[in-house]
Amino acid sequence: MADKPIRADKAGAVAELTESFRNAGATVLTEYRGLTVSQLTQLRRALGQTATYEVAKNTLAKRAASEAGIEGLDELFSGPTALTFVSGDVVEAAKGLRDFAKANPLLVIKGGVFEGKAITAAEVTKLADLESREVLLAKLAGAMKANLSKAAAVLQAPLSKAARTAAALQDKKREQEEQAA
């Protein structure tokens, strides 16, 4: 893209968008044509505190993405584009966008950026299908606890076997002493 001089008023907007691209764990591009202001407000609420939804001019957003070192999004900057900058749980934000798009078909997920790489709309949906970080951590903790319990049982088995053997020997010795007496 040829770098034309940019007006001072737009330079601030590009700098702000560039910083948002750099600081976001993921960015999702959507088309919002036909959504009302109240619907966009609902969407912002659905995304929660860890994601921001910003409407931006394509030329400014394209320049900001380029300045942030992000490639592969140029074809997504067509039509009215809004950017969802995710600073927290990417899965939760993707779920919020997917669920809102199901309820409001005018919101179209175009694709985005995750961990510095361009992703398609289908990949955003795959992210939304994952379980949240908290659920995955809870499952991991449960699996680890189960494995620790198994390990404890395995380590305890020889001790309990030895105790049962000692008890059996004691009983046998007692029987022998009683028979001898």
Q: What is the pLDDT of residues 66-80, one digit of tens each?
A: 888 888 888 888 888
Q: What is the pLDDT of residues 2-57, one digit of tens each?
A: 456 677 778 888 889 989 898 888 999 999 888 899 999 999 988 888 899 989 89
Residues 111 and 50 in one domain: yes
Asked if residue 1 is part of any domain, the answer here is no
* 3-state per-residue secondary structure call for the chain: CCCCCCCHHHHHHHHHHHHHHHHCCEEEEEECCCCCHHHHHHHHHHHCCCEEEEEECHHHHHHHHHHCCCCCCHHHCCCCEEEEEECCCHHHHHHHHHHHHHHCCCCEEEEEEECCEEEEHHHHHHHHHCCCHHHHHHHHHHHHHHHHHHHHHHHHHHHHHHHHHHHHHHHHHHHHHHHHC
Q: What residue numbers bound the domain in which 124 lies? A: 8-130
What's the pTM value of the predicted model, to 2 decimals? Answer: 0.66
Q: What is the pLDDT of residues 99-119, one digit of tens each?
A: 999 998 999 999 999 988 888
Residues 101 and 169 in one domain: no
Asked if residue 3 is part of any domain, the answer here is no
Number of domains in the chain: 2
